């Protein structure tokens, strides 16, 4: 079994009003040195457990990892590589905010081993970017994408978002069209989700944040799938589209329920280092960056919580994530691992109505099913019988 | 104790007028219960009763009181249930007394229910002692209330006792009045035994416990007794009084009140109202007025989880041990599966049973809309009783349908008369009588179909009269009505548990209202749900529940799965109280929506 390493960089210039990730708007006052030091120390602390594990990907997420210098990123990459058993060609991704990287920095990042860029474009419309409270302009995005190509990256993703106030299908279509001009091999297209503890959440609950109605959102969701499919992308996950062979290997780890080690503040891991549970172990680091750094530098584990999964939880996780994937859940391996199967009667109506389908011995959501995936995931979980 | 030192009485009061508090003060004042032992409202035993603040089971307490004349008297305070559903139990409790304390709230005045019970007491020849309670409250108006008592009940209120049970004002005056005004019991200890069962309950150790009032002769430990309605004989195993804690005695004689156990296994064998006599030397005639209590309201009870059917059956069996007025039998619904058709005295009784099932037996239940029992004569001239709308024969096989009618006595300030007329006319009522007690207090009598007052009539009455009107009712028999069965179809299939029987003229409006309400109550599903109301084959109204079309989480970030799992669990929890009917999930409220208008 191979594994991946996730590195969380929790700093942003400014926190976006819709964002509920573990990130902090700190302007330019970033404790880059200490944080890098802490991450390096954290890697060391896992040395014995991971030095014989084959590594297949590294992912720098945030926050805004591109706020860090190529030097710091390089140190972390080297440390990971020397502490594990890297496979021949590993994927090393880094999230970039267009406002925070120039050609020189991109080149430097490439030199230290980053080989995949994920660009937080969100939109090419000035109106949308303002509404979303982004620091980047459409021009910033165009420039950074061109620089990424110039710097020699042939693997990069564009993050796009739809469903903002008063957005029409036309506006969204324009975003997608512009994205395709850069001949990218990967697009993530997210529907804006209002989370409780955010600025948008507060506005929304006061009725001050108008959003497109259900029909309009369904129109955009459906259009996204159809349009990108015609352009040669596969919807390999609910919100992710890639040309064949360019799926993000690291993200697939999450969705397939495979192993990953999370480093940095608030990072989550799914890895059973000491074989404590036959159904897997999940844990998360302390969210607060200062506390995280202090704890690690004191030589302690920065743990927020650990959970040994029960069979039911492992099963639910598998269904929850697996059904998000275009490849679905392989029934043979599912049955081998869990000894459970679906009570076909309770699902037969969902097959008949075209929400679910079986393909290549895998259970998957249809296009119609994707729209109501939460509901379906719940029903599939409920219809399991054990043998 | 010699009969001339015995006083048997009970307390009549409207709900919330302070009956239980007064009983507590009497117990305290006479030293029957020490203050330390005094939990508030000592006589209300069951947890449920305490929560609802009503007394369901009658109780009898013996109290010794040393009066001003220096003599110690034996008081038997017989507590009565306080709600219209239990008026027969009230009448039996009254039968065991020679007098009553009539408690009237000093600001609210006489209410219909008090009036009905006061009439009952006065018809039985009982002495009434009026007590005006809560005189400490700012809104108290004892003079007005005295006038009401005189005009409405026709007794003198000149000597009415002004009291505040809460503050302990007037307690001594009440105790002295009991001694002086309530007659001593008649009857001789030497005649053949004649005793009235005025309450009974099941105890898992003793079997059935009966509360009795001995009128003639005496009950002794070990004697053979006979219950006159069944002719069955038993041996007295245990005899006692409540003082207020159970105290065993060897004998209870004419004029006294006590409890008896006789290894009786089923509550239905020891019915309230029955007469106990000496099996060897029986009395010639039973006490009058025995009546079997018949359920008036029926409803289906189904477990939400079909696997809990056996658990429900066992629970019903246990409840029935203690409640002879409640009946049940298995029934099957196409929509709800296996369950039970249950009969209750009234809606409050139904609610209490349901709550006990859910609380004490941890069951999750769906109850169908309560219905009355209809008398159907078919074209062959045969009479059948229908307690479940889905069992009504098809219209071409019906000659006539009759439904139970009640005479409702409404007591209201005259200001709300108009609104009350409207309410009653709306419910197919016929005015029978109207009487002004004072310039602004009125008694109106209406004949109404029981089905029309069953569900929300009382609530509506309270709302149109701002809480001032009160009511009581009695069953007066069956009358022919133009009734039809209204069916509800979900995606084309009739759902038997949602059928109701309604008056022909109201059917169209009810059907429309009903599907509208169901549309709001049934959660959106993954597909469109068509709702129709139909009479026979004719669809009279339709509505659509639009499907859920979008429920998708855009992003699962950075491997943080725990949060997503919590969301999923929350979503699952929301589905728990839904009953699966075919492919559709229906909440409990939908089954009751059929009744609310």
Residue range B148-206, pLDDT digits in tens? 888 877 788 888 999 998 888 999 999 999 999 999 999 888 999 999 998 888 777 78
| Band (B454; pLDDT cuts 50, 70, 90) | confident
Over range A354-359, report the average pLDDT.
93
- Contact criterion met (CB < 8 Å) for A374 and B560: no
Contacting residues of B for A164, CB less than 8 Å apart: none
Angstrom distance (rounded) from CA A345 to CA A360: 20
Q: Which of B306, B523, B554, B573 to mutate to test the interface with A (most CBs of A within 10 A)?
A: B554
Query: Three-state secondary structure along B18-70?
Result: CHHHHHHHHHHHCCCCCCCCCCCCCCCCCHHHHHHCCCCCCEEEEEEEECCCC
Structural domain span for residue A376: 313-386
Contacts across the A-B interface (CB distance below 8 Å): 101
Over range A220-234, report the average pLDDT.
97
**Distance between A171 CA and the closest CA of chain B, angstroms:** 19
Which stretch of A60-64, A274-278, B259-263, B544-548 has the lowest confidence by average pLDDT? A274-278
Angstrom distance (rounded) from CA B221 to CA B488: 60
Pick the closest to residue B17 from B142, B86, B99, B102 (CA basis).
B102
Would residue A269 count as lying in a domain?
no
- Contact criterion met (CB < 8 Å) for B560 and A349: no
* In B80-159, beta strands by DSSP E: 99-105, 127-133
Domain shared by A229 and A320, yes or no: no
Over range A146-171, report the average pLDDT.
97
Residue B576 touches chain A, beta carbons under 8 Å? no
Q: Is the pLDDT of residue B10 over 80?
A: yes
| Band (B56; pLDDT cuts 50, 70, 90) | very low
- Contact criterion met (CB < 8 Å) for B565 and A317: yes
The continuous run of DSSP H or E covering A158 comes out as strand A156-162
- Contact criterion met (CB < 8 Å) for B572 and A255: no
Find the residue in B nearest to A312 (Cα).
B565
State the alpha helices, DSSP H only, in B378-474.
417-426, 450-454, 457-464
CB atoms within 10 A of CB B431: 12
Angstrom distance (rounded) from CA B181 to CA B185: 12
Q: Is the pLDDT of residue B44 over 60?
A: no
Angle at A44 (CA atoms; ends A39, A47), nearest 5 degrees: 135
Q: Are the CB atoms for A240 and A186 separated by under 8 Å?
A: yes
Structure tokens at B549: 């079309």
Q: Please give the DSSP secondary-structure letter assigned to residue B496.
A: G
Would residue A24 count as lying in a domain?
yes
Pick the closest to residue B101 from B178, B24, B176, B44 (CA basis).
B178
Q: Which one of B548, B549, B562 has the shortest CB-CB distance to A282?
A: B562
Q: Is the pLDDT of residue B423 over 90?
A: yes
| Band (B345; pLDDT cuts 50, 70, 90) | confident
Find the residue in B nearest to A307 (Cα).
B562
Structure tokens at B220: 């002794």
Angle at B519 (CA atoms; ends B517, B523), nearest 5 degrees: 120
- Contact criterion met (CB < 8 Å) for B550 and A321: no
Contacting residues of B for A214, CB less than 8 Å apart: 549-550
Q: Which one of A253, A269, A375 has the shortest CB-CB distance to B551?
A: A375
**A209, A232, A253 — which closes off a domain?**
A253
Contacting residues of A for B552, CB less than 8 Å apart: 191, 221, 238, 370-374
Contacting residues of A for B556, CB less than 8 Å apart: 254-255, 321, 324
**Distance between B308 CA and the closest CA of chain A, angstroms:** 19
Domain shared by A226 and A336, yes or no: no
pLDDT of residue B37: 56
Q: Is the pLDDT of residue B437 over 70?
A: yes
pLDDT of residue B48: 46
Q: pLDDT tens across A45-104, in order?
A: 999 999 999 999 999 999 999 999 999 999 999 999 999 999 999 999 999 999 999 999
Q: pLDDT tens across B461-510, in order?
A: 878 987 777 777 888 899 999 999 999 999 998 888 889 899 998 899 88
| Band (B82; pLDDT cuts 50, 70, 90) | low
Tell whether omega for the bond before A137 is within 30 degrees of 0, i.e. cis. no
Q: Is the pLDDT of residue A369 over 80?
A: yes
Domain shared by A47 and A178, yes or no: yes
Would residue A211 count as lying in a domain?
yes
Domain shared by A236 and A320, yes or no: no
| CATH code of the domain covering residue A372 | 1.10.10.920
Contacting residues of B for A382, CB less than 8 Å apart: 572
Q: Which one of A313, A350, A376 has the shortest CB-CB distance to B565?
A: A313
Total domains present in chain A = 2
Contacting residues of B for A254, CB less than 8 Å apart: 556, 558-559, 561
Domain shared by A95 and A243, yes or no: yes
Contacting residues of B for A320, CB less than 8 Å apart: 561, 564-565, 568
Q: Please give the DSSP secondary-structure letter assigned to residue B288.
A: S
Domain shared by A207 and A346, yes or no: no
Would residue A369 count as lying in a domain?
yes
pLDDT of residue B58: 43
pLDDT of residue B34: 61
State the alpha helices, DSSP H only, in chain A.
32-45, 47-50, 70-83, 103-111, 126-131, 138-150, 169-180, 199-205, 214-230, 249-256, 289-297, 311-322, 331-338, 344-352, 367-371, 373-382
Over range B6-24, report the average pLDDT.
84
Over range B572-582, report the average pLDDT.
72
Q: Which one of B526, B565, B575 has the shortest CB-CB distance to A320?
A: B565
Angstrom distance (rounded) from CA B31 to CA B66: 11
pLDDT of residue B152: 78
**A228, A253, A278 — which closes off a domain?**
A253
Would residue A191 count as lying in a domain?
yes
Angstrom distance (rounded) from CA B248 to CA B262: 14
- Contact criterion met (CB < 8 Å) for A317 and B575: no
CA distances from B232 to A311, B130, B270, B280, B361 (A): 61, 41, 10, 12, 33
Angstrom distance (rounded) from CA B350 to CA B499: 19
Q: Is the pLDDT of residue B57 over 50?
A: no
Domain shared by A211 and A334, yes or no: no
pLDDT of residue B51: 45
Domain shared by A12 and A81, yes or no: yes
Would residue A76 count as lying in a domain?
yes
Contacting residues of A for B554, CB less than 8 Å apart: 190-193, 238-239
Angstrom distance (rounded) from CA A184 to CA A155: 7
Q: pLDDT tens across B303-334, in order?
A: 988 889 999 999 998 888 777 778 899 999 88
pLDDT of residue B38: 55
Residue B553 touches chain A, beta carbons under 8 Å? yes
- Contact criterion met (CB < 8 Å) for A268 and B561: yes
Q: Is the pLDDT of residue A131 over 70?
A: yes
- Contact criterion met (CB < 8 Å) for A374 and B583: no
The continuous run of DSSP H or E covering A7 comes out as strand A3-9
Residues in CB range of A251: below 8 A, 6 or more apart: A59, A237, A240
**A207, A236, A253 — which closes off a domain?**
A253
- Contact criterion met (CB < 8 Å) for B561 and A260: no
CA distances from B249 to A175, A274, B64, B66 (A): 93, 73, 16, 22
Q: Which one of A324, A349, A370 has the shortest CB-CB distance to B583?
A: A349
pLDDT of residue A299: 94
Residue B552 touches chain A, beta carbons under 8 Å? yes
The continuous run of DSSP H or E covering B241 comes out as strand B238-242
Residue B563 touches chain A, beta carbons under 8 Å? no
Q: Which of A367, A374, A376 to mutate to test the interface with B (most CBs of B within 10 A)?
A: A374
Q: Is the pLDDT of residue A188 over 50?
A: yes
CB atoms within 10 A of CB A274: 8
Domain shared by A244 and A320, yes or no: no
| Band (B596; pLDDT cuts 50, 70, 90) | low
| Band (B14; pLDDT cuts 50, 70, 90) | confident
Task: Please provide the size of chain A in residues.
Answer: 387
Tell me the angle at which helices B562-574 and A373-382 cross, rounded to the nearest 10 degrees.
80
Would residue A84 count as lying in a domain?
yes
Contacting residues of A for B567, CB less than 8 Å apart: 374
Would residue A273 count as lying in a domain?
no
Residue B558 touches chain A, beta carbons under 8 Å? yes
Q: Which one of A6, A193, A321 has the shortest CB-CB distance to B555?
A: A193
**Distance between B558 CA and the closest CA of chain A, angstroms:** 7
The continuous run of DSSP H or E covering A362 comes out as strand A362-365
Structure tokens at B481: 């009505």
DSSP B152-177: HH-S--TTPEE-BTTTTBTHHHHHHH
Find the residue in A nearest to B559 (Cα).
A254
| Band (B53; pLDDT cuts 50, 70, 90) | very low
Angstrom distance (rounded) from CA B582 to CA B489: 12
Domain shared by A220 and A358, yes or no: no
Residue B570 touches chain A, beta carbons under 8 Å? no
| CATH code of the domain covering residue A133 | 3.20.20.70
Domain shared by A43 and A166, yes or no: yes
- Contact criterion met (CB < 8 Å) for A193 and B549: no
- Contact criterion met (CB < 8 Å) for B552 and A307: no
- Contact criterion met (CB < 8 Å) for A238 and B557: no
Q: Mark B478-510 as b/e (b = at least 16 C-beta within 10 Å).
A: eeebebbbbbbbbbeebbbbbbbbbbeebbeeb
- Contact criterion met (CB < 8 Å) for A374 and B568: yes
Angstrom distance (rounded) from CA A365 to CA A378: 13
Domain shared by A56 and A135, yes or no: yes
More confident residue, B454 or B145: B145
- Contact criterion met (CB < 8 Å) for B548 and A375: yes
Q: Which one of A192, A260, A349 has the shortest CB-CB distance to B559?
A: A260
Q: Mark B236-266 as b/e (b = at least 16 C-beta within 10 Å).
A: bebbbbbebeeeebeebbbbbbbbbbbebee
Q: Is the pLDDT of residue B460 over 50?
A: yes
């Amino acid at each position: 079994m191979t594994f991946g390493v996730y590195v969380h960089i929790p700093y942003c210039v400014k926190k976006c009003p819709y964002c509920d990730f573990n990130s902090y708007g700190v302007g330019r006052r970033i404790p880059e040195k200490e944080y890098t030091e802490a991450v390096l120390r954290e890697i060391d602390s896992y040395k014995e457990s991971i030095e014989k594990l084959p590594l297949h990907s590294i992912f720098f997420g945030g926050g805004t990892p591109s706020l860090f210098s190529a030097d710091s990123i390089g140190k972390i990459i080297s440390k990971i590589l020397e502490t594990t058993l890297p496979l021949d060609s590993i994927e090393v991704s880094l999230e970039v905010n267009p406002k925070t990287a120039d050609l020189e920095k991109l080149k430097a990042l490439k030199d230290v081993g980053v080989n995949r860029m994920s660009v937080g474009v969100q939109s090419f419309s000035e109106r949308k970017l303002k509404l979303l409270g982004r620091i980047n302009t459409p021009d910033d995005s165009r420039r950074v994408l061109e620089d990424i190509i110039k710097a020699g990256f042939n693997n990069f993703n564009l993050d796009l978002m739809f469903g903002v106030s008063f957005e029409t299908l036309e506006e969204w279509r324009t975003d997608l069209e512009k994205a395709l001009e850069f001949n990218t091999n990967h697009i993530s297209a997210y529907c804006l989700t209002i989370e409780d503890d955010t600025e948008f959440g507060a506005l929304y609950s006061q009725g001050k944040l108008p959003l497109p109605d259900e029909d309009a959102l369904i129109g955009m969701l459906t259009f996204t799938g159809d349009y990108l499919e015609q352009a040669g992308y596969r919807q390999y996950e609910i919100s992710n589209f890639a040309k064949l062979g360019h799926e993000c290997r690291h993200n697939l780890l999450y969705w397939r329920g495979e192993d990953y080690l999370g480093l940095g503040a608030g990072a989550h891991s799914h890895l059973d280092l000491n074989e404590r549970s036959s159904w897997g172990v999940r844990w998360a680091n302390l969210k607060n960056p200062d506390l995280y750094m202090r704890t690690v530098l004191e030589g302690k584990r920065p743990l927020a919580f650990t959970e040994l999964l029960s069979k039911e939880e492992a099963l639910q996780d598998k269904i929850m994530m697996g059904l998000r994937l275009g490849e679905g859940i392989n029934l043979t391996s599912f049955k081998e691992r869990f000894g459970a199967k679906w009570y076909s009667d309770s699902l037969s109506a969902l097959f008949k109505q075209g929400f679910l389908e079986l393909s290549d011995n895998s259970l998957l959501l249809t296009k119609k099913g994707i729209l109501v995936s939460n509901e379906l995931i719940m029903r599939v979980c409920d219809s399991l019988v054990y043998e | 104790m010699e009969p001339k030192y015995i006083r048997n009485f009970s307390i009549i009061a409207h709900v919330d007028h302070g009956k239980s508090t007064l009983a507590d003060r009497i117990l305290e004042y006479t030293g029957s219960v020490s203050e330390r032992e005094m939990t508030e409202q000592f006589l209300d035993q069951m947890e449920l009763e305490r929560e609802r603040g009503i007394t369901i089971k009658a109780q009898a307490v013996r109290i010794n009181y040393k009066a001003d004349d220096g003599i110690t008297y034996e008081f038997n305070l017989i507590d009565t249930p306080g709600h219209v559903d239990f008026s027969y139990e009230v009448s039996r409790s009254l039968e065991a007394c020679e007098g009553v304390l009539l408690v009237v709230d000093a600001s609210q005045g006489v209410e219909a229910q008090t009036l009905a019970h006061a009439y009952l007491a006065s018809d039985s020849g009982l002495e009434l002692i009026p007590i005006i309670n809560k005189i400490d409250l700012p809104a108290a108006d004892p003079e007005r209330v005295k006038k009401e008592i005189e005009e409405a009940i026709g007794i003198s209120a000149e000597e009415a006792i002004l009291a505040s049970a809460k503050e302990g004002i007037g307690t001594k005056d009440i105790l002295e009045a009991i001694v002086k005004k309530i007659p001593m019991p008649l009857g001789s200890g030497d005649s053949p035994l004649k005793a009235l069962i005025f309450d009974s309950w099941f105890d898992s150790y003793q079997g059935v416990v009966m509360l009795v009032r001995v009128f003639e002769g005496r009950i002794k430990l070990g004697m053979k007794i006979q219950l006159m309605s069944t002719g069955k004989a038993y041996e007295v195993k245990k005899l006692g009084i409540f003082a207020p804690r159970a105290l065993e005695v060897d004998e209870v004689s004419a004029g006294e009140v006590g409890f008896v156990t006789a290894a009786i296994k089923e509550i239905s064998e020891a019915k309230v109202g029955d007469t106990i006599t000496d099996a060897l030397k029986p009395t010639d005639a039973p006490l009058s007025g025995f009546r079997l209590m018949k359920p008036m309201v029926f409803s289906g009870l189904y477990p939400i989880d079909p696997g809990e059917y056996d658990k429900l059956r066992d629970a019903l069996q246990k409840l029935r041990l203690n409640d002879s007025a409640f009946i049940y039998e298995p029934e099957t619904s196409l929509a709800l599966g296996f369950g039970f058709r249950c009969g209750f005295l009234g809606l409050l009784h139904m609610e209490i049973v349901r709550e006990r099932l859910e609380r004490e037996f941890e069951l999750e239940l769906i109850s169908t809309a309560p219905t009355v029992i209809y008398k159907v004569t078919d074209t062959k001239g045969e009479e059948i009783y229908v307690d479940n709308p889905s069992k009504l024969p098809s219209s071409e096989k019906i000659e006539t349908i009759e439904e139970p009618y009640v005479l409702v006595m409404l007591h209201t300030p005259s200001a709300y008369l108009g609104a009350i007329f409207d309410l009653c006319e709306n419910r197919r009522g016929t005015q029978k009588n109207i009487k002004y007690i004072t310039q602004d207090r009125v008694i109106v009598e209406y004949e109404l179909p029981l089905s029309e007052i069953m569900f929300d009539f009382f609530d509506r009455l309270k709302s149109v009269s701002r809480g001032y009107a009160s009511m009581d009712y009695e069953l007066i028999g069956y009358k022919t009505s133009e009734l039809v069965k209204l069916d509800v179809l979900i995606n084309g299939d009739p759902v038997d548990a949602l059928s109701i029987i309604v008056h022909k003229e109201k059917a169209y409006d009810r059907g429309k209202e009903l599907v509208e309400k169901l549309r709001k109550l049934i959660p959106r599903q993954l597909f469109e749900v068509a709702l129709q109301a139909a009479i026979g084959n004719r669809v009279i109204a339709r509505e659509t529940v639009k499907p859920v079309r979008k429920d998708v989480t855009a992003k699962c970030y950075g491997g943080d799965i725990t949060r997503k799992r919590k969301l999923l669990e929350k979503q699952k929890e929301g589905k728990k109280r839904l009953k699966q009917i075919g492919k559709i999930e229906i909440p409990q409220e939908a089954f009751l929506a059929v009744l609310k208008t």
